[in-house]
Amino acid sequence: MSNVIAACLCFRDSAPYLHEWLLFHRVQGITRFYLYDNDSADDYLPVLAPWLRDGSVRLKKWPGAAQQRAMFDDCLAVANVDGDVEWLTFIDDDEFLFSANLLPLGETLARYSAHPGVVASWWLYGSGGLQRRTRDWAIERFTLGAGRPDQHVKCIVRPSRIAHATISPHSFVTRDGSLLVDENFQPMTGALNPAPSACVLRVNHYLTKSWEECIERRFLRAEINTGKLKPLTIEQWREWDGQWSAVRDPIATAFGPAMRAIGKQLVMPDEIPVAVPDARVYPVI
């Protein structure tokens, strides 16, 4: 019987963030993670070790530039071969999907079972003025957000009904030509929702993090989907970061106790990986 909620993640040099991301989504009821390593140079395997041991993470190395669409299509194929995946979400390591009413994700997704998929709106979070990274979780470091949903969406699909991904990481093509819907059951025709809402589902997107991390991840690293650097200026990032740091909204911290409890069950407390920032220092912007 198909009942698994799974997540697909394409990552590169994300060792400091993977454990938190996995814990958060395990709390939501996601029990299988298809992880694609796209040319990572950091030591992420110790972080994933307990997740690989318990079988919840399926890891595949996938080299090359601009490979996100190919990885998404491979994940769809793998999920269909597995045969028990009811819902498959495609989110990044700085995106945290949950039900806005804090109920288990499966209960919320059940409302949309007649559709090939449902989209969840971004809820953007800024740096909150933090200049340097720390060891703390992103959901606890960054509690200042935009205060409203963004037009960009991320998809939770029924893999058996999806033909393939598109060039955008925010949309998919169905086998029968039907459309994904938003949380209000309105059909979606692209990557942007003209009437965004996040009363049922939301994706907290920690896009900036600290300025140190922003420089490293947004200015010095090519995008997985395009293989190119983002064509944005520091001035643009500063303006947007201010907008994304406007309203205190610590909703995601409510999951912290459950995350820590799962972490203690998953590995012995003294074995829980703690990512240590590297020695590089980037200028404050």
- For residues 272 and 262, what is the distance between their CA atoms, to the nearest angstrom? 11
C-alpha distances (whole Å) from 90 to each of 18, 35, 98, 248, 253 are 15, 11, 13, 27, 22
pLDDT in tens, 122-157: 999 999 999 999 999 999 999 999 999 999 999 999
Exposure letters 208-236 (e unless 16+ CB within 10 A, then b): bbbbbbbbbbbeeeeebbeeeeeeeeeee
Q: How far is CA 216 from the centre of its chain?
A: 18
pLDDT in tens, 178-228: 999 999 999 999 999 999 999 999 999 999 999 999 888 877 676 666 667
User: What mean pLDDT do residues 56-80 have?
Assistant: 97
Radius of gyration of the chain (CA): 18
Q: Residue 43's pLDDT band (boundaries 50, 70, 90)?
A: very high
CB 181 within 8 A of CB 100: no
- For residues 118 and 87, what is the distance between their CA atoms, to the nearest angstrom? 10
- SS3 label, residue 147: coil
The yes-or-no verdict on residue 261 having pLDDT over 90 is yes
The yes-or-no verdict on residue 277 having pLDDT over 80 is no
- For residues 114 and 17, what is the distance between their CA atoms, to the nearest angstrom? 34
CB 259 within 8 A of CB 159: no
Burial class (CB in 10 A: 0-12, 13-18, 19+), 271: exposed
Bigger pLDDT: 226 vs 114: 114
Provide the pLDDT for residue 223: 67
Provide the pLDDT for residue 167: 84
Q: Residue 273's pLDDT band (boundaries 50, 70, 90)?
A: very low
Domains of the chain: 4-270 (3.90.550)
Q: What is the DSSP string of 74-124?
A: HHHHHHHHH--EEEEEE--TTEEEEETT---HHHHHGGGTTSSEEEEEEEE
User: What mean pLDDT do residues 64-93 have?
Assistant: 97
What percentage of the chain carries pLDDT values higher than 70? Answer: 89
